[in-house]
Amino acid sequence: MPEFEDRARSEASPEDVWKLLYDPGRFPEWWVGVETVERGAGAPAETGYTMFPAGYPDFPMPQRLRVSGSGVTISCLISDLVFEWRLAPLDDGAATAITVHVEIPEQEAHRLGAQQEVIRASLARLAALAAGDARVRD
């Protein structure tokens, strides 16, 4: 199974990064390729949500978000990609280390390079947005 890990530093507190990472409704603001997200009214994040990729408004992709400790694991129920996001405080909580571990099933191995690029860009956007950089949005 292909997998990789990437990391970034945000000048925001872990709490500020967490607000963006835990809320699927905020994913389109920073996760490259995510156009829209739909969740049932009042549904907790663990029950899942549906992501619509940029450029494919008629291609719903159900996802599951699970919180554990200082992180969030997002699993695509269509392609079986798994994104495990972890946060750690830096500088006595004034900044945050953001790490993401991605697992790609063998049948999706051809997407490894593209996923590495998407995650690298998304990490940078997440770190900047959490720190209040208004230039993140295109």
pLDDT the model gives residue 96 = 97
For a pLDDT cut of 90, what percent of the chain falls above it? 81
Number of domains in the chain: 1
Confirm if 87 and 21 have CB atoms less than 8 A apart: yes
Enclosing domain of residue 129: 3-136
| Alpha carbons 6 and 11: distance in angstroms, whole number | 17
Instruction: Tell me the CATH number at 12.
Output: 3.30.530.20
pLDDT for res 127: 97
> What value does the mean pLDDT take over residues 34-47?
74
Q: What is the pLDDT of residues 57-87, one digit of tens each?
A: 899 999 999 998 889 999 999 999 999 999 9
- Give the pLDDT band of residue 44 (cuts 50, 70, 90): low
Q: Which residues make Cβ contacts (< 8 Å) with residue 65, sequence separation at least 6?
A: 22, 24, 45, 46, 48, 49, 72, 73, 74
* Percent over 70 (pLDDT), the chain: 91
